[in-house]
C-alpha cells in the first residue's frame, strides 16, 4: 500500500507505481492506483494481475495528478476479481480508499449502510470505509470529522490511506494494529505500509503508532491519536537503510542477494547487539520463566535460542506465537520474561501474545529488524538487528541475524555467570568470514543438486539437538519457494512414522554436527540409506565418515558444532531451495499465497 503527495505539482503516478513495485515481493493477486486529476475528478484504474502486465493494459504511469494512492491486494474477503481489487470508492465517486488488514465488523456496517441507501459493488470489507465516511459527511461539517467518526466505528486490525476530491490536497491515513509509515521527502510526502516503498526518495520517516490518524498536506503532517484523544507528535527519524539495500544489485532475485548478504548482515548485527544488551543479564536473572515467542522462520531461530540457552544452564521455552495463549497464557505473570522475535516487528500473532503477557505483568524483550515497529513499543527492552531491509518473502538473512542475536545474548549471560565459553565470542565475531567461505564453496554444488531436486515431490530434513532448528528451517525454505513438500523433524523420530514413506531416491537432508549427537545422527542416516533414501548431508569438512555415507555432501568449516551452527549450516540449504525453485520455473521472491509480514491473525 502506498500514497504520494507532491507539493510541486509533479505528476506522482509513476512514483506510486514504483512504490507498489518496491513492495511487490510482499505478494498480491491484484493491483490498482487512483489519482485526483487537476480538474478535480478521480481517475481509478485496477484489475487482477501482476503490476507489469497491468501497466501495459491500464497505463498507470500515464495517469495525471499530483496526489494519489495505490495498492497491491492479497484476497482475504471476496474473490480475486477486478471489482474486489483496491482502491475502493463511495457512491458519490469522491472518496477513494486503500486498506491493509481486516475490518471485523464490516458485515454489520454494510447492512446498516445498505439500509440507508448505499450501493455496494464488491465483496470486500474495505468498501465499507468510503461509504461509512460518506454517510458521516451528511452530519459532520468537515471531512476530518467524518473520517474520525468512521474510524471510531471500525473494529479490527487495519491501516488505510484515503484521498478525496472534496479536499484534493490531503492524504488521510489511520493506523490500528497494522503497519503504516510516513516518508518525508523533498517537497513531497509518502504514506506506505513499509519503508522500502519510498526508500529511493527519502530516508526520513515517521513511524506511526496504533491509534494514530490524520493527514499530510502542504502544511505538513497533522496527527492525532484516537486512544489519547488529542493531538500527538511523533519524532522524525532517519533510517540507516539505503536505496541500494532495497535493490537487487545485479542478482537475479532479492532472495539470492539476501543469502549473499548474510555475512555482512551478521557482522552488523553483532556490533549492534554489543551496544544494546547492557541490562540483558539482569533481566534474564530476574526471570522465573523465560519464553521465546515467534512465528515461521523466527520461531526456528527461537527454537535455536532455546537449545543454545540450555547449553549454559538457562532454562527457556520457544513457543509458536499463535499457540501462546492456549499453551501458557494463563501461567504467565510478573516474574516472567518473554522474548518476542519478529523480523518486521508487526507479526500479528506475536504482538497479540506479547500484549497478553504484558498485561499480566511480564517483562518483554523484543528482537526485530525494524526500529520503531509495534513490537518495540510493547517491549521493555528492544534489540534492533543490523540485517537491513529484507525484500524477499522467504526469510534468509534475518534468520541468521536472529540466531546471532540470541547467541550473543546467551554468551553474554554465560560469561557473567562464570561459564567457560571458550573462544565462542571471538568466533561469533569472526563468523562472517566463514559464512562467506560457505557461500563460495557450496553455491555451485547447490546448483548441481537442484538439477536432481527439481523433479522431486517430497523430502525429509533431519537434525538433532542444535542441528534440529536448521533442519526445520531448511525444510521450510524448500516448501515455501520450490513448492516441494518438505518435512523437518528430529532424526530420532524416523522410526515413529516418517520412515514409512522412504523409498529408493527419496531425498533425505541431514544436518550433522560433530557433538554429542553425532553417532546417533549416523544411525539415523544409515536407517534411511538402507531403505534407499538419497542422502544429502551438511557436515564439517573433515567429516569423511558422513561424506562416505552420503550421496551428496555440503561442507562447512570446522569448529561450528556448537551454538554457532546455524550461521553456516543453513546456507547450503537456503541455496538448494533457491536454485530448485528457479529450476522449477518459480519466482523465489514471490511465493504463492504468502506475505512478507503476516499482520492479520
Q: Secondary structure of 375-388 in the HEC alphabet? A: HHHHCCEEEECCCC
Would you call 185 helix, strand, or coil by DSSP? coil
pLDDT band at 597 (very low <50, low <70, confident <90, very high): low
- The predicted pLDDT at position 88 comes to 93
pLDDT digits (tens, 9 = 90+) for 61-102: 999 999 999 988 766 666 778 788 889 999 999 999 999 888
Strands 458-463, 485-490: pairing is parallel
The C-alpha cell at 66 is 499530483
State how far the alpha carbon of 471 is from the alpha carbons of 443, 531, 549, in Å: 18, 21, 18
- The predicted pLDDT at position 41 comes to 93
Q: Which of 44-58, 84-98, 113-127, 585-599 has the least mean pLDDT?
A: 585-599
- The predicted pLDDT at position 338 comes to 98
∠ CA 36-37-43, nearest 5°, is 65
Q: What is the mean pLDDT of residues 355-367?
A: 96
State how far the alpha carbon of 216 is from the alpha carbons of 179, 525, 533, in Å: 17, 61, 61
- The predicted pLDDT at position 81 comes to 82
- The predicted pLDDT at position 601 comes to 59
Q: What is the pTM of this model?
A: 0.85
Rounded CA separation 276/280 (Å): 9
Rounded CA separation 35/64 (Å): 7
Q: What is the mean pLDDT of residues 10-28?
A: 83
Is residue 583 within 8 Å of residue 452, measured between CB atoms?
A: no
Q: Does residue 261 have a pLDDT over 90?
A: yes
pLDDT band at 490 (very low <50, low <70, confident <90, very high): very high
Residue 65 buriedness (CB in 10 A; 0-12 / 13-18 / 19+):
buried
- The predicted pLDDT at position 128 comes to 95
Rounded CA separation 60/16 (Å): 9
> 368 Cβ partners below 8 Å, 6+ apart?
341, 342, 343, 344, 345, 375, 376, 382, 383, 384, 385
- The predicted pLDDT at position 25 comes to 65
- The predicted pLDDT at position 531 comes to 94
Could you give phi then psi for residue 476, rounded to 5 degrees? -60, -45
Strands 212-217, 458-463: pairing is unpaired
Average pLDDT, the chain: 93
Q: Does residue 24 have a pLDDT over 90?
A: no
Q: Which residue has the cell 503497519?
A: 179
DSSP class of residue 311 equals H
Rounded CA separation 264/397 (Å): 9
- The predicted pLDDT at position 371 comes to 87
Q: What is the mean pLDDT of residues 296-306?
A: 98
Rounded CA separation 482/587 (Å): 9
Sign of the alpha-carbon dihedral angle for 593, 595, 596, 601: negative
Q: Does residue 238 have a pLDDT over 80?
A: yes
Sign of the alpha-carbon dihedral angle for 464, 468, 472, 475: negative
∠ CA 391-393-397, nearest 5°, is 65
Q: Does residue 262 have a pLDDT over 80?
A: yes
Share of residues in the chain with pLDDT > 90 (%): 78
Domains, the chain: 2-246 (3.60.20.10), 250-421 (3.40.50.10490), 440-596 (3.40.50.10490)
Q: Which residue has the cell 466505528?
A: 153
pLDDT band at 212 (very low <50, low <70, confident <90, very high): very high
- The predicted pLDDT at position 27 comes to 66
- The predicted pLDDT at position 239 comes to 87
Q: Does residue 572 have a pLDDT over 70?
A: yes
Is residue 294 within a helix (H) or strand (E), and if so which, with residue range? Answer: strand 290-294
DSSP per residue, 438-503: HHHHHHHHHHHHHHHHTT-SEEEEEE-GGGHHHHHHHHHHHHHHS--EEEEEEGGGGGGTGGGG--
State how far the alpha carbon of 192 is from the alpha carbons of 3, 14, 36, in Å: 6, 15, 18
State how far the alpha carbon of 420 is from the alpha carbons of 274, 304, 405, in Å: 19, 20, 19
Q: If we measure between CA atoms, which residue out of 80, 60, 72, 69 comes closest to residue 26?
A: 72
pLDDT band at 194 (very low <50, low <70, confident <90, very high): confident
Q: Does residue 38 have a pLDDT over 80?
A: yes
Is residue 397 within 8 Å of residue 232, measured between CB atoms?
A: no
Is residue 190 within a helix (H) or strand (E), and if so which, with residue range? Answer: strand 188-192
Q: Does residue 452 have a pLDDT over 90?
A: yes
Buried b (16+ CB within 10 A) or exposed e, 474-513: bbbbbbbbbebebbbbbbeebeeebbeebeeebbbbbbbb
- The predicted pLDDT at position 77 comes to 64
Which residues share a beta bridge with 309?
none
Could you give phi then psi for residue 409, rounded to 5 degrees? -60, -50
The C-alpha cell at 71 is 495498492
Is residue 290 within 8 Å of residue 339, measured between CB atoms?
A: yes
Say if residue 358 is preceded by a cis peptide, omega within 30 of 0.
no
Amino acid at each position: 500500500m502506498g500514497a504520494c503527495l507532491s507539493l510541486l505539482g509533479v505528476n506522482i503516478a509513476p512514483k506510486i507505481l514504483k512504490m507498489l513495485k518496491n513492495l511487490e515481493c510482499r505478494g498480491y493477486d491484484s493491483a490498482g492506483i487512483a489519482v485526483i486529476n487537476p480538474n478535480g475528478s478521480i481517475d481509478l484504474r485496477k484489475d487482477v494481475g501482476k503490476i507489469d502486465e497491468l501497466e501495459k493494459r491500464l497505463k498507470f504511469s500515464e495517469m495525471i495528478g499530483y496526489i494519489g494512492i495505490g495498492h497491491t491486494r492479497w484476497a482475504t474477503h471476496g474473490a480475486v476479481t477486478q471489482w474486489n481489487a483496491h482502491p475502493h470508492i463511495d457512491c458519490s465517486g469522491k472518496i477513494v480508499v486503500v486498506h491493509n488488514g481486516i475490518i471485523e465488523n464490516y458485515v454489520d456496517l454494510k447492512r446498516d449502510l445498505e439500509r440507508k441507501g448505499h450501493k455496494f459493488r464488491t465483496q470486500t470489507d474495505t468498501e465499507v470505509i468510503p461509504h461509512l465516511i460518506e454517510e458521516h459527511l451528511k452530519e459532520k461539517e468537515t471531512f476530518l470529522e467524518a473520517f474520525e467518526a468512521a474510524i471510531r466505528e471500525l473494529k479490527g486490525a487495519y491501516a488505510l490511506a484515503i484521498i478525496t476530491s472534496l479536499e484534493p490536497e490531503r492524504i488521510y491515513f489511520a493506523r490500528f494494529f497494522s503497519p503504516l509509515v510516513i516518508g518525508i521527502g523533498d517537497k513531497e510526502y509518502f504514506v506506505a505500509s513499509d519503508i522500502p516503498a519510498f526508500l529511493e526518495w527519502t530516508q526520513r520517516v515517521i513511524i506511526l503508532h496504533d491509534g494514530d490518524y490524520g493527514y499530510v498536506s502542504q502544511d505538513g503532517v497533522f496527527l492525532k491519536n484516537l486512544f489519547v484523544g488529542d493531538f500527538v507528535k511523533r519524532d522524525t527519524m532517519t533510517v540507516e537503510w539505503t536505496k541500494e539495500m532495497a535493490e537487487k544489485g545485479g542478482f537475479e532475485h532479492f532472495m539470492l542477494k539476501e543469502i549473499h548478504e548474510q555475512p555482512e548482515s551478521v557482522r552488523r548485527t553483532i556490533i549492534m547487539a554489543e551496544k544494546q544488551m547492557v541490562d540483558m543479564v539482569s533481566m534474564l536473572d530476574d526471570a522465573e520463566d523465560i519464553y521465546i515467542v515467534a512465528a515461521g522462520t523466527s520461531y526456528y531461530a527461537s527454537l535455536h535460542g532455546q537449545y543454545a540457552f540450555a547449553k549454559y544452564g538457562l532454562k527457556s521455552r520457544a513457543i509458536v506465537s499463535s499457540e501462546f495463549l492456549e499453551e501458557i497464557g494463563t501461567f504467565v505473570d510478573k516474574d516472567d520474561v518473554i522474548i518476542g522475535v519478529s523480523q518486521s516487528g508487526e507479526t500479528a500473532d506475536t504482538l497479540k501474545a506479547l500484549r497478553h503477557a504484558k498485561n499480566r505483568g511480564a517483562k518483554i524483550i523484543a528482537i526485530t529488524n525494524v526500529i520503531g515497529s509495534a513490537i518495540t513499543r510493547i517491549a521493555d527492552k528492544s534489540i534492533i538487528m543490523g540485517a537491513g531491509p529484507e525484500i524477499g518473502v522467504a526469510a534468509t538473512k534475518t534468520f541468521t541475524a536472529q540466531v546471532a542475536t540470541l547467541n550473543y545474548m546467551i554468551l553474554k549471560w554465560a560469561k557473567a555467570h562464570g561459564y567457560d565459553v571458550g573462544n565462542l565470542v571471538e568466533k561469533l565475531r569472526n563468523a562472517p568470514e566463514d559464512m562467506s567461505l560457505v557461500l563460495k564453496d557450496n553455491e555451485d554444488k547447490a546448483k548441481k543438486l537442484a538439477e536432481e531436486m527439481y523433479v522431486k515431490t517430497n523430502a525429509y530434513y533431519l537434525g538433532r539437538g542444535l542441528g534440529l532448528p536448521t533442519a526445520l528451517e531448511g525444510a521450510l525454505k524448500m516448501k515455501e519457494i520450490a513448492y516441494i513438500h518438505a518435512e523437518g523433524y528430529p532424526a530420532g523420530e524416523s522410526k515413529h512414522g516418517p520412515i514409512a514413506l522412504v523409498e529408493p531416491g527419496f531425498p533425505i537432508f541431514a544436518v550433522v554436527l560433530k557433538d554429542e549427537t553425532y553417532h546417533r545422527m549416523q544411525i539415523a542416516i544409515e536407517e534411511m540409506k538402507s531403505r534407499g533414501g538419497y542422502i544429502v548431508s551438511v557436515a564439517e569438512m573433515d567429516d569423511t565418515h558422513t561424506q562416505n555415507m552420503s550421496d551428496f555432501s555440503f561442507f562447512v568449516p570446522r569448529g561450528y558444532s556448537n551454538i554457532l551452527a546455524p550461521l553456516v549450516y543453513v546456507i547450503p540449504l537456503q541455496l538448494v531451495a533457491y536454485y530448485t525453485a528457479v529450476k522449477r520455473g518459480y519466482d523465489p521472491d514471490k511465493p504463492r499465497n504468502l506475505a512478507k509480514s503476516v499482520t492479520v491473525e
